[in-house]
């Protein structure tokens, strides 16, 4: 782990009703992604947010699942039934170029959906050299990248609400 210490964060209070979120996770590395999910759930609990969790086969499927979720009809005036989306996954570098292609495709795919749709998204994809690095970033401490992505997501939800987009 880096010598840089991660900041202590607390969930921001949100104006309006408690947010309803969707977590899309790729649990190929189940322990790692499970640790990230637990970190995110703690942040959501602080913000009194509710969350549904769905799984996809791997990181490559995250952008398509996000696009599908954004296409789901809503019962209200919002464009979807979720206030925001959290993506969780992990890609560990191996001996082939597969890692580079998957990481680039997932990041670009999520960015494309994000900019096209203006959705509130928290992006928690670990791209690491080793499983030990992933485990360090999914531990139950302030270095948990699932918690960091959840904080980012809640900030995006707050911004959408501020600008009247939610």
Task: State mean pLDDT over 41-66.
Answer: 97
Alpha helices in the chain, H assignment, sequence order:
30-46, 62-70, 98-117, 131-136, 145-162
Of 20, 98, 143, 151, the catalytic one is 98
pTM of the model: 0.91
pLDDT at 5 over 90: no
pLDDT at 2 exceeding the cut of 80: no
Sequence ranges of the binding site for 5-amino-6-(D-ribitylamino)uracil: 28, 59-61, 90-92, 123
**What residues does 90 pair with on adjacent strands?**
126
pLDDT of residue 73: 73
Name the fold adopted by 20-72+80-162: Rossmann fold (3.40.50)
Question: Domain spans of the chain?
Answer: 20-72+80-162
Reported as a single tens digit per residue, the pLDDT across 103-145 is: 999 999 999 999 999 999 999 999 999 999 999 999 999 999 9
Which residue ranges make up the annotated binding site?
Answer: 28, 59-61, 90-92, 95-96, 123, 137
Average pLDDT value for residue range 152-166: 94
20 noted as active-site residue: no
């Amino acid at each position: 782990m880096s010598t840089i210490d991660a900041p202590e964060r607390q969930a921001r209070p949100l104006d309006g009703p408690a947010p309803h979120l969707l977590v899309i996770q790729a649990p190929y590395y189940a322990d790692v992604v499970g640790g990230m999910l637990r970190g995110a759930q703690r942040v959501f609990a602080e913000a009194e947010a509710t969350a549904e969790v769905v799984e996809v086969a791997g990181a490559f499927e995250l952008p398509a699942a996000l696009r599908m979720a954004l296409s789901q009809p809503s019962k209200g005036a919002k464009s979807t039934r979720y206030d925001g989306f959290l993506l969780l996954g992990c890609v560990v570098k191996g001996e082939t170029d597969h890692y580079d292609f998957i990481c680039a495709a997932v990041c670009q795919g999520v960015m494309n959906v994000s900019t096209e749709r203006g959705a509130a998204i928290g992006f928690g994809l670990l791209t690491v050299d080793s499983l030990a690095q992933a485990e360090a970033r999914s531990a139950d401490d302030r270095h948990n990248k699932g918690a960091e992505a959840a904080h980012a997501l809640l900030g995006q939800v707050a911004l959408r609400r501020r600008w009247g987009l939610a």
